[in-house]
Amino acid sequence: MRVERLCLEAFGPFIQRQEIDFSRLEGRSPFLIQGPTGAGKTTILDAICFALYGASSGGEREARNLRCDFAPDHAATEVCLEWSLGQRRFRVLRRPERLRPKIRGAGFTRQPAEATLWRLDDGPAKVLASGWAPVGEACQELLGFSQEQFRQVVILPQGQFRRLLMADSREREAVLATLFQTGFYQRLTEALKERARGAAEQIRQLLQAGQNILAQAEAENADALAARIDALAEDLRQNQDARERLRQAEQAARQALNQAQAQAAALDELAQAQSAAADLAAQAPAMDQLRLALARAQSAAALEDVAQNSGQAVDHAQKSADALALRQGLEAKAGQALQKASEALEAERAREAERQSARERLEGLAALEKTVAGLEQAAADLARLQQEAQAAQQAQTAAEDDLAARQAQAQQAAAALERARALAGQLDGLKSLAQQTARQRQDALALAELAAQGPGQTRAADWAGQQARDAQDALAQAQARRDELLRLWRDGQAAALAAGLAPGAPCPVCGSTNHPAPAEGEPNAPDQKALEAAEQTVERARQALADRERQAERAARDLVELRRRQEELRLALGPLAEESPEELARRANEANERLAQADRAGQSLPALQAAQVAAQGALAQAQAALLAAQASFQDLARQTAAQRALHAERAQNTPEQLRPPGALAQASRQARDQLTRLESALERARTTHDLASRDLAAAQAARAAAQEAAQEAAARAALAQAELARRLALAGFAKEAQMTAARMEEKTMAEGQRALQDFAAAQAAAAGRLARAQAAAASLSRPDLPALELAANQAAQALERAIDAGGQLAQRLRQARAWQDELGRLTSQVATLEQDHGVIGRVAEAAGGQNAMGVTLQRFVLATLLDEVLEAASRRLGRMSRGRYALRRAVDRQDRRKAAGLDLMVDDDHHGSQRPVSTLSGGESFLASLALALALAEVVQAHAGGVRLETIFIDEGFGSLDAEALDLAMAALIDLRDGGRAVGVISHVEEMKERIDARLEIIPSRRGSVARLAL
C-alpha cells in the first residue's frame, strides 16, 4: 500500500485547503514530517486514518471532533486520499457531520456525514462504495487490515509503536495472517474438522439406520433375523404342499357342479317352451279382432272424399254466419261512435264563454307592455351604476395598493443602501461561496444524467424480473406435465403386467395366484420417448429460468448501482439536490456579481440616497391619487341609491308576477296558447262528427251483403250432408262417427298385417321348440344345486385362504431378506467410515491445535514466516545495537492456558541469555520495534500474495536513542530507499532534521497551519 496524495480542508489546525503530493517523495526515503508542537504533524497521520477508516490514527478522537475550530461556518471539513495497491489506484473522500448555515433564512442546519470510495482506472472513476460505514468496510477489505492492525503495521502513532513487538501470540497471529494472507490454512483446518464431524455423523446415522431396521424387523440382532428367515422359508414350503391338495379338491367340486347345472338347464328349457306355447294360444282371440278391424278400416277409407266435401260445406256455412255477426257488431259500434261525436260537438259549442275570456286576457296583457318596458329600463340603469361604483371601488383599491408599493420602494431603497454597506465586508465569504456552488453545479449535472437513466433502468429491471417469473411458471408447468406423463407411464406398466396375468398363475410382483383387481392402464399411456422429450423440455425450461434469473440479477445490480450513485450525489448536494444545474450556475454568477458590487458599494451611496428621496416623492403622489379615487367612489354610491328608489317606484305600478324580465312576454304566450287550444278543440269535434256519420252508412251496407252470403252457404251445406248419409248406409255405417272410429292410418294397417303374419310364424316355432325340449328332458330329475354350489364355494375359499397365506409368507420372507441385505450393506459402510474417520479425526485435531505444542496449522505456517521476519529484523537490530541483540521466536510453551507459537524473545549477547522482549528498555524496545516493522515490510513484500507495505509512518520515539544508536537507526532507514519503500518520520530530534533533506514542513499561522514539501 502506497500513499500517493492527501488533500484536507478545515481539518485539525488546517483551515485552508492543503494538497500534499507524496508521489514527489519517490526515491527520497526516509522523509521527515517536521514542525512546532501543535502545528499539526500528527494530524497528517490522523487524516490518512480518517480517510480510510473514519477515525484518528491514535483512535482517541471522534470524527466530529476533528473539524477545525477556526474554519468559517460555510467551509466543509473534508479529507481526500489517493493511494495505490500494486497497479490499482483508489481515491477516498470523507466529510464528517457538521452544522452549516441555512441556504434560505437565518440559522443553521445539520449536514450529514458523507464518504465515497472510487477506483481510478484509465477511464472515468468508478464508485466502489458510498456511505460512512460501507467505505470503511471496503477499504478494510482492499487493504486486508482492520483499523487496529493498520495502526500496528503502517501508521505507528505516539505511544503505540511497540504494540506489535509486545503483542501476545493471538494478537500477533491476527496481524500476520492478514499481512501474509494465510487464511487458506485456517480454512483447511476448518474443512478437516468439518469432514471429521461429517464422518462421525455419517457413522452415527448408519448405526441408527441399522437399529431402525432391527426395530422394524422386531429382532434383537442379525442372528435372530437370520433364524426368522429360515423359519419363514419352512412355513412357505408347507403352505405350497397344502395348496396343491386344496386345488385338486376344488377342481372335483367344480366339475360336479357343472354337470348338475346342465341338467337343471334342460328342465328349465322344457318349462319355458310349454309356457311360450300357452302364451300364443291366449293371443289367438285378439288376432281375430285385429283381422275384423282391418276390414272395416278399408271400407272407411273408400268414403274419405265424400266426408271431406260435406265437412268443407259445413265449415263454409259457419264462417259466413260468423262474418254476418261481425258486420252486425261493427254497425252497432258505428252508431255508438256517432252518438258520442254528437255529444262532444255540443260540449265544445257550450265553451264559447271560455274562448271569449281568453281573448279579453290577451288584450289586457297587451295594454301593460309600456309600463313593463319602463320598469326594465330603470333596472338596466341601476345595474350600470352599480358596475360603475364597483369599478370606482376597484380603482380605490388599486390606489391603496400603489401607495403600499411606493412605501415598499422607499423601504427597498433604504435596504439597498444598507446591503451596499454590508457587501464590502463579505469578500472572503463570497469567494468560498463561488467555489462551493461550482462544485454543487457539477454534482447536479451528474445527478440529472442519472435521473434520466433511471426510468430505463427501472423498466429493464422490471422486464427482467417478469421474464424470470414467466420462466419459473414455464418450468413449473413443464415439471407438472413431466410428472403427469411419468404417472401415466407407471400406470401403463402396471396395466402391461396385469395383461400378462393368467388365472391360477402367480403374480410376478406379489406371488399371489388370485387376481381380484388387475390394474387398468390409460388408453393414451406415453412411451419412453415421450418421457425423454418431457424431461428435455423440463431441462430447457430450467436452463431458461437460470438465464432469466441471471439477467434479472444483473439488471437489479445495475439499478441498485444507479440508485446508490444518485443517493451519493443527493447526500453531497443536500437540500440543493432539488435545484437544477442552471439554478446553481445562477447562484455562482450571483456571488461573483455581489463581489463586484461590494467593490463599488462605497461609490454608490450618493446615488442610493437620491433614489430614496425620489421614492418619497412618488409616495406623496400615490397618497393624492388615493384621495381622488375615494371621492369618485362616494359620488357613484349616491347616484346608485337614487336610481334604486326610482326602480322601486315603477315596480309598485306593475303587477308583481309581471315584474321579472320576460314575465309579460311569457304571460302573453300562455294566453294566446289557451285561446288556440279552445278553438282547435271545437274544430276537432266538428270533424269527428262528420267522420262518424260516414262510418255508420258504410257499416250498414257491409252488414246487408254479409247476410245474403250466409243464407246461400247454409243451403249448400244441407245438400252435402244428405249425400254423406246415403253413402254411409250403403257401407254399413249407421253414423259418420262409426266411420271415423273405423279409420286407420296406412302405417297402422300395414303393421296390423305384419302382426298377423308374425303370429302365425311364432305358433309354428313354438311347436318345434316344445317338441325338442320334451325329447331332451326325458328321464331327467332336478338336482340339488344349492348343496353342490356350497361345496364348490367352500373348496374355492379354502384354496384362496391358502394362497393368501402363502403370499403373506412370501412377502414376509422377501422383506426379512431385504432387511438382512440392507443391514449387511450398512455394516460394511460403517467399517469403511470408521477407518477413514480414524485418520481424518487425528489430522483435524492436530491442525486445530490439539497437539503437544498447542499450535494450530495456520499458526505453524505463520511461525515459519515469523522466523523469516525475525531473521531479517535481527540483522537490522544487530547493526543498530552493535551486535548485542537478536530477536527469536519462543519455542517452549510458557502458559498452556494461552495460545502459543508466536511469542517473541530477545537474545542478549552481553549476558549470553534469552529473555522476554518486555524486559528491554525504552530506547532498546524502540530499536527492536523499528527493526521488526522494517523487516515485516520487507518479508511481506517478498512473498507472493502478501500485502505490499510500500509506505510506513513513525510518530516519535527517536528521542530515546543516544547519538550512536540514532546513527545506526538512520542507516537502517536509508537502506530502505533501495527497496522502493517510503518511511515518514515525525521527530523533534535536531540531528534528524540535519540528516534528512526531504521534509514535509508544517507551518503554523493565525490563518491556520500550512503543509509544504521541501525537497
Q: Which residue has the cell 391338495?
A: 245
- The length of the chain, given as a count of residues: 1015
Whether the predicted pLDDT of 907 surpasses 80: yes
* pLDDT band at 965; cut points 50, 70, 90: low
- Bridge partners (DSSP) listed for residue 1013: 1000
Percentage of residues of the chain with pLDDT beyond 70: 83
What letter does residue 110 receive in the DSSP assignment?
A: E
* One-letter amino acid for residue 744 of the chain: M
Nearest to 303 by CA among 724, 690, 681: 724
Question: Tens digit of pLDDT for each residue in 313-361?
Answer: 888 888 888 888 888 888 888 888 888 888 888 887 887 888 788 777 7
Peptide bond preceding 36 in cis form (omega within 30 of 0): no
| SS3 per residue for 152-220 | HHCEECCCCCCHHHHCCHHHHHHHHHHHHCCHHHHHHHHHHHHHHHHHHHHHHHHHHHHHHHHHHHCCC
Identify the weakest region by mean pLDDT among 105-119, 152-166, 168-182: 152-166
Round the average pLDDT of the chain to a whole number and report it. Answer: 78
Nearest to 56 by CA among 64, 47, 241: 47
Whether the predicted pLDDT of 160 surpasses 60: no
Identify the weakest region by mean pLDDT among 411-425, 629-643, 883-897: 411-425
d(CA 698, CA 21): 130
d(CA 49, CA 236): 87
| SS3 per residue for 17-37 | CEEEEHHHHCCCCCEEEECCC
Are the C-beta atoms of 90 and 118 separated by less than 8 Å?
A: yes
d(CA 751, CA 957): 138
CA distances from 528 to 482, 536, 537 (A): 12, 12, 14
Question: Tens digit of pLDDT for each residue in 743-767?
Answer: 788 888 888 888 888 888 888 888 8
- Give the model's pLDDT for residue 277: 84
Whether the predicted pLDDT of 59 surpasses 70: no
Which cell goes with 61? 478522537
Which cell goes with 1002? 508544517
What letter does residue 11 receive in the DSSP assignment?
A: B
Nearest to 116 by CA among 571, 577, 787, 775: 571
Is 696 strand, coil or helix?
helix
Whether the predicted pLDDT of 61 surpasses 60: no
CB proximity list for 480: less than 8 A, separation 6 or greater: none
Phi/psi at 68 (nearest 5 deg)? -70, 130
pTM score of the predicted model: 0.38
Torsion angle, CA of 212/217/220/226, rounded to 10 degrees? -130
Question: Tens digit of pLDDT for each residue in 632-681?
Answer: 877 878 887 887 777 777 667 666 676 677 776 777 787 778 778 878 88
* pLDDT band at 852; cut points 50, 70, 90: low
Q: What is the mean pLDDT of residues 819-846?
A: 80
* pLDDT band at 153; cut points 50, 70, 90: low
Q: Which residue has the cell 448408519?
A: 206
Q: What is the mean pLDDT of residues 1001-1005?
A: 88
CB proximity list for 461: less than 8 A, separation 6 or greater: 552, 555, 556, 558, 559
Nearest to 597 by CA among 413, 414, 420, 412: 420
d(CA 673, CA 823): 117
Which cell goes with 820? 438382512
d(CA 830, CA 808): 33
* CB atoms near residue 55 (< 10 Å): 19
- Give the model's pLDDT for residue 784: 82
d(CA 677, CA 672): 9
d(CA 505, CA 512): 8
* pLDDT band at 948; cut points 50, 70, 90: low
d(CA 2, CA 951): 5
User: Sign of the C-alpha dihedral, residues 441, 445, 450, 455?
Assistant: positive
**Left, alpha or beta for 542 (phi > 0: left; psi -120 to 50: alpha)?**
alpha
Q: At what angle do helices 922-942 and 169-180 cross, to 10 degrees?
A: 30
Question: Tens digit of pLDDT for each residue in 425-454?
Answer: 555 566 566 667 766 777 777 778 888 888
Phi/psi at 103 (nearest 5 deg)? -70, -40
Are the C-beta atoms of 959 and 989 separated by less than 8 Å?
A: yes
Identify the weakest region by mean pLDDT among 419-423, 827-831, 874-878: 419-423
d(CA 807, CA 244): 15
- Give the model's pLDDT for residue 943: 64
Nearest to 755 by CA among 293, 274, 275: 293
Strand 913-916's sheet: what is its strand order?
A: 885-889, 904-908, 913-916
* pLDDT band at 722; cut points 50, 70, 90: confident
Are the C-beta atoms of 2 and 84 separated by less than 8 Å?
A: yes
Which cell goes with 609? 440616497
* One-letter amino acid for residue 125 of the chain: A
- Give the model's pLDDT for residue 159: 47
d(CA 91, CA 520): 76
* One-letter amino acid for residue 107 of the chain: G
Q: Can you give the C-alpha Rg of the chain in angstroms?
A: 62
Pairing mode, if any, of strands 951-955 and 155-156? parallel
Identify the weakest region by mean pLDDT among 352-361, 464-473, 602-611: 602-611
Q: What is the mean pLDDT of residues 77-103?
A: 88
Are the C-beta atoms of 32 and 996 separated by less than 8 Å?
A: yes
Percentage of residues of the chain with pLDDT beyond 90: 4
CB proximity list for 810: less than 8 A, separation 6 or greater: 236, 510, 511
| SS3 per residue for 965-986 | HHHHHHHHHHHHHHHCCEEEEE
Are the C-beta atoms of 66 and 23 separated by less than 8 Å?
A: no
Question: Tens digit of pLDDT for each residue in 536-566?
Answer: 898 888 888 888 878 887 887 778 778 777 7
d(CA 115, CA 93): 6
| SS3 per residue for 746-758 | HHHHHHHHHHHHH
Nearest to 30 by CA among 1010, 978, 1012, 782: 978
* pLDDT band at 80; cut points 50, 70, 90: very high
Whether the predicted pLDDT of 243 surpasses 60: yes
Are the C-beta atoms of 111 and 76 separated by less than 8 Å?
A: yes
* Secondary structure E strands in 819-966: 885-889, 904-908, 913-916, 951-955
The residue with greater pLDDT, 117 or 604, is 117
* pLDDT band at 157; cut points 50, 70, 90: low
